[in-house]
Structure 1
Amino acid sequence: MKTIKYIKILLLIFVFSGLHSCLDYEELRENPNQPTSVPPSLLFAGLTPDVSTSFTDAYIRMQYHIWVSTDSEYNINFRSGFGGSFGGYSSLRDIEKMNEAADANNAPIYRILGKFYAARAYIEMTRRMGDIPFSQALSGSQVPRPVYDAQKQVYIGTLDMLDDANNELGDFIADNQGYTIDGDVYYGGQLVKWQKLINAYTLRILVSLSKRANDSELNVKGRFANIVNNPSQYPLFESIADNAELTFRNEDGFKQTYNPDVAVYRQSVNYASTYLEMLKEYQDPRLFLVADPTQFALDEDPGNEAGVRADFDSYVGADPTVSPADNITLRLEGKFSLPNEDKYWNFVGQPGVWLSYWEQEFCIAEAAHRGWISANAKEHYDNAVKGSMLWYGVDEGTINSYLSASSSSYISGDEGLTRLLEQKYLAFAENSGDESFFNFRRSGVPDLPFSSFNVGVDPGYPKRWSYPGSENSDNPDNYLAALNRQFGIESDDIDFEIWEIKD
């Protein structure tokens, strides 16, 4: 139930109409009232990435909230949902159709943005599964069973594609001042913001490759520095106004997940102790804006709601490591904090975020902290924390006090890197999809708790998504060769480490 869902349905109607009208029967003529082609803008809108709304399963995985249903025991399994998909190849075929439509309609901008979308499609598959078909991926009937390229080669190729997309888009903007594109649900057609998004996304991916930063062929540090040191060629987000995000509303297909039409959510979505305890440890003012005090705390101090709300001890999260029965008991006693009713219990909630200014600034701060670039790590750390807090609604005076406090200000060294990554975890709460997981997977920050009640058979999170099961029958030789090359065994195990995260 997202904005883009209805656009994609409309796209399919047009596509099938176009296919029907192009049947090559001699006795039939084309129907002038039926479309015979799809405009590139419609294909572009259909290819636009979805975003996750707040309080969905993507955020349960990272222990921002958990589901505590009072009418049934619900075991959390942090190991579920790691079956991979090659759906990205369907997107790549649609990108090719968009490119053809762009050429037919003399609209090269869609081909340029198609290069960004294509790079992203490959990246989002490889960062989940490992080696994937790349060089032969779109060969069709000529190569029905493509080889799996090594993950390193996929990244080199896609990072080059992202660089080309930025440069080509920059040239297009320079030659077409004021030009806007149709089909843009994020930026209303503003091309400069798309160029910023491409570069912010590239920084996201480069930081995700921190364990491969010394690989000379991949050139993570050089690519990162080239973007940061050349702002005229590689513009970046300047504030949260540049976020790629969608705002929800009270209309079918445009509602956020957590809303008054699904009353069970109000009782069952409880903040996790993992997230709330970190906010409390940092004395973080975002706590008061995202959560409500426990009902138990309010009842203990009647007539003093303002005081209770301003007390960090009034907020308690559900422990994801204990039995569901124990959490249900505490939930019924009113001892857990729920999402802030005024902020979230409506049809708008908070925007769904694809990529944010604060993530970009955390990426730059981390690169500076690691010595990849000569930028001021503290400045970008401050920008990131401030951007996140402004987005949640914290006032600037409170933000400035927070950033000057010794317990939450930027510091150097290993402790400082941990603090930076913990702050990034806090900023990713209920937004940005799987990015919090990817950061945890490569860094081990934060130190997430696990137990026999929440992980299934094995401890901890998986390290990768498995390949689609169909590959064992559709492309067995290349599939098994990829497993052997990566893991030394013909096993598609989700606990095996892929190249990008190996020490």
Structure 2
Amino acid sequence: MKSTITKYILGAALLANLCACEKTSLLQKDPAAVYDASPKLLLTGLLLNVGDKPWTSVQRHNQYATQNNSYYYGQPYDWSTADEGFSAYDRLRDINQLNMEVAKSPDNYKGYPELGKFLAAYFMVRNTEMYGDVPMTDAIKGRSEGNFTPKYDDQKEVYRTVLQMLEDVNTALTPLVTANVKVDGDFYYKGDLAKWQKLVNSFRLRVLVSLSKRADDNADLKIKEQFATIVGNPAKYPLILSNADNFQLLFNANARDNNYPLWPADGVVIKNDLNNNLAATIVDILKRTEDPRLFVMALPTDSAKKSGDAGYATKFTSFRGGDVGMIMADLKSMASAGKFSQLNYDFWEATPSGGPCIQLGAAEVNFSIAEAINLGWISGDAGAYYVAGIKANMAFYNVAGAAQDAFLANPGNVYAGNTAAGLTQILEQKYVAFFQNSGRQAFYNNRRTGIPKFSIGPANKNAQKIPVRWKYPTVEYTVNETNIRAAIQKQYNGSDSQNDVMWLIK
């Protein structure tokens, strides 16, 4: 009997010990951590980091706006590295996690690997177009292989890989679109993979156009051929050619932290802001071409309003932008004197949700195709795509059809043919369409083409130059010094400045 009791006591003790160990391990887990994240939540997290908002310092670098208050940064072009650093690799880690979660139940998460692969290409392009050569082949191998010092890949190879990734994604999406597969967690397209497929191919056109300076001396990349293949086969490679398919960021009137960026915290709209004006770079284009979008974007100057001219509000001469290169104190003085146009807050702040911020839209795609035709990459009617691009963007501003037709009938706005003058028209209209949209694309297109001509003046603190890149994140010199120094030596002869010219734009 005693032996039996002893066995029960020992068994109970062992069970209690096991339970205690289990409880301890559970207690050691972080209750705020997510150990088995849902793919749809991971996708939502990725998409939260895709969009570029309007009215940021980026838009001043695009020469769309001026900042006239010395308390703020202004637009001196004296940047070094970017605030975002190498945050693209954070997103790539998230994509890795997404793929691991999907692998647990692939039949339940169709479409997620394809979107993950597209987003990986998207973030890799964002990285390389800012800095030049970047880690790719060895990137994100710290967890899997213990490689925390990845080598830098040549920019050309990054683009080669990205273009192949985009081809693969389009191919993989086709049967999913046919089967009407939907994904959850997508607040851009509500899980519609048909729209995502259009975005994938439209983004590929953006990448190919960005490589225009390398199209003739890098035949192995087949830049022109890829472009022609995509545009020539719309059944296989659908594109964003309508505003209904725009990849755009929508703001929310019901959530203060997601209101339109110009919407004031207290909800009181003040329609008088001397600190911010449109820049002359865009205003002068709109005035010269007599563009009705100007009447929507901005207001006539106070000087024009006080001129005594009863028709001042409908005259293009009543508008004026600030010169980005001007000393800030002088900009402030002129703004205070009513010599600059202010924003038309009735349009930009009509509601707390404002308007959408297009990340990649129909106007851009039409202009890219028009440019390719102008350059002789493909055959077609560049003028038709030029007109379609203008109309798509004018629709964004609710410009009436009659006003659109009048603009296009203006002899100065009729497409000048596949000439240098025609190319300038396409690129200027693309610049106008990028206003407060598409992040740094206006800057990158200017960097590539020189159109429109950016203002440089006494406010420029970069030796009277517009920068062409960002310095590598300083942390790389601490955690990956050997590889980063090898990369800058190979690319820039040891320099790492905002004025070094990367392979993409040489």
Does the alignment reach a TM-score above 0.5? yes
Describe the shift of the 1:124–1:223 C-alpha distance in structure 2 as closer, same or farther (beyond 3 A): same
Query: Could you tell me how far apart the structure 1 residues matched to 2:213 and 2:400 are?
Result: 37
Describe the shift of the 1:401–1:75 C-alpha distance in structure 2 as closer, same or farther (beyond 3 A): closer
Describe the shift of the 1:324–1:36 C-alpha distance in structure 2 as closer, same or farther (beyond 3 A): closer
Residues 275-327 of structure 1, C-alpha deviation per residue, up to 9 Å, x if partnerless? 1111001111111111111122112237x4xx322111111112222222222
Matches within 5 A, 1:110-189: 110-140=112-142, 141-174=145-178, 176-177=179-180, 179-189=181-191
Query: Could you tell me how far apart the structure 2 residues matched to 1:239 and 1:75 are?
Result: 36
Query: Could you tell me how far apart the structure 2 residues matched to 1:458 and 1:423 are?
Result: 29
* Residue 218 in structure 1 maps to residue 221 in structure 2: yes
Describe the shift of the 1:264–1:481 C-alpha distance in structure 2 as closer, same or farther (beyond 3 A): farther
2:208 to 203, 206, 209: 206
Q: Which amino acid in 1 is paired with 2:220?
A: E
Q: Which amino acid in 1 is paired with 2:250?
A: T
Residues 16-75 of structure 1, C-alpha deviation per residue, up to 9 Å, x if partnerless? xxxxxxxx96445769x9974111010001001443333221111121111123x86865
Match of 1:376 in 2: 381
Match of 2:91 in 1: 91
Contact preservation (8 Å) 1:79, 1:460: no
3-state SS of paired residue (1:66): strand
Offset at 1:479?
1.1
Contact preservation (8 Å) 1:274, 1:448: yes
* Residue 442 in structure 1 maps to residue 448 in structure 2: yes
Query: Could you tell me how far apart the structure 1 residues matched to 2:272 and 2:233 are?
Result: 47
Residues 239-261 of structure 1, C-alpha deviation per residue, up to 9 Å, x if partnerless? 11111112223321211221233
Describe the shift of the 1:440–1:342 C-alpha distance in structure 2 as closer, same or farther (beyond 3 A): same
Matches within 5 A, 1:53-68: 53-68=53-68
Contact preservation (8 Å) 2:110, 2:183: no
Residues 151-182 of structure 1, C-alpha deviation per residue, up to 9 Å, x if partnerless? 111110111001101110112222x22x3211
Query: Could you tell me how far apart the structure 2 residues matched to 1:314 and 1:136 are?
Result: 56
1:278 to 285, 309, 312: 285
1:463 to 447, 454, 468: 468
1:389 to 389, 394, 404: 394
Match of 1:415 in 2: 421
Contact preservation (8 Å) 1:64, 1:429: yes
Query: Could you tell me how far apart the structure 2 residues matched to 1:370 and 1:29 are?
Result: 65
Match of 2:265 in 1: 261
Describe the shift of the 1:471–1:230 C-alpha distance in structure 2 as closer, same or farther (beyond 3 A): same
Contact preservation (8 Å) 1:270, 1:317: yes
Contact preservation (8 Å) 2:53, 2:357: yes
1:351 to 347, 351, 356: 356
Match of 2:239 in 1: 236
2:322 to 318, 322, 326: 318
Query: Could you tell me how far apart the structure 2 residues matched to 1:436 and 1:75 are?
Result: 18
Offset at 1:213?
0.8
Match of 2:437 in 1: 431
Gaps of at least 5 residues in structure 2 are 1-19
Match of 1:247 in 2: 250
Describe the shift of the 1:265–1:160 C-alpha distance in structure 2 as closer, same or farther (beyond 3 A): farther
Contact preservation (8 Å) 1:53, 1:351: no
Query: Could you tell me how far apart the structure 2 residues matched to 1:74 and 1:296 are?
Result: 27
Match of 2:305 in 1: 298
How many matched pairs?
A: 471
Match of 1:80 in 2: 79
Match of 2:38 in 1: 39
Query: Could you tell me how far apart the structure 1 residues matched to 2:349 and 2:148 are?
Result: 50
Offset at 1:405?
2.2
After superposing the two structures, state which structure 1 stretch, 41-50 or 138-147, moved more: 138-147
3-state SS of paired residue (1:309): helix
Query: Could you tell me how far apart the structure 2 residues matched to 1:277 and 1:81 are?
Result: 29
Q: Which amino acid in 2 is paired with 1:76?
A: Q
Describe the shift of the 1:392–1:25 C-alpha distance in structure 2 as closer, same or farther (beyond 3 A): farther
Larger Rg computed on CA atoms: 2
TM-score, normalised on structure 2?
A: 0.88
Gaps of at least 5 residues in structure 1 are 1-23
Query: Could you tell me how far apart the structure 1 residues matched to 2:185 and 2:173 are?
Result: 17
Q: Which amino acid in 2 is paired with 1:168?
A: A
Describe the shift of the 1:226–1:39 C-alpha distance in structure 2 as closer, same or farther (beyond 3 A): same
Query: Could you tell me how far apart the structure 1 residues matched to 2:73 and 2:381 are?
Result: 46
Q: Which amino acid in 1 is paired with 2:318?
A: S
* Identity over aligned pairs, percent: 36
Offset at 1:416?
1.1
Q: Which amino acid in 1 is paired with 2:429?
A: Q
Q: Which amino acid in 2 is paired with 1:294?
A: T
Q: Which amino acid in 1 is paired with 2:306?
A: D
Contact preservation (8 Å) 1:55, 1:258: yes
Report the RMSD for the aligned CA atoms in angstroms: 2.3
Contact preservation (8 Å) 1:54, 1:350: no
Query: Could you tell me how far apart the structure 1 residues matched to 2:21 and 2:356 are?
Result: 49
Query: Could you tell me how far apart the structure 1 residues matched to 2:73 and 2:183 are?
Result: 46
After superposing the two structures, state which structure 1 stretch, 333-342 or 359-368, moved more: 333-342
Query: Could you tell me how far apart the structure 1 residues matched to 2:402 and 2:102 are?
Result: 49
Query: Could you tell me how far apart the structure 2 residues matched to 1:259 and 1:268 are?
Result: 16
Contact preservation (8 Å) 2:80, 2:498: no
Match of 1:331 in 2: 335
Q: Which amino acid in 2 is paired with 1:222?
A: E
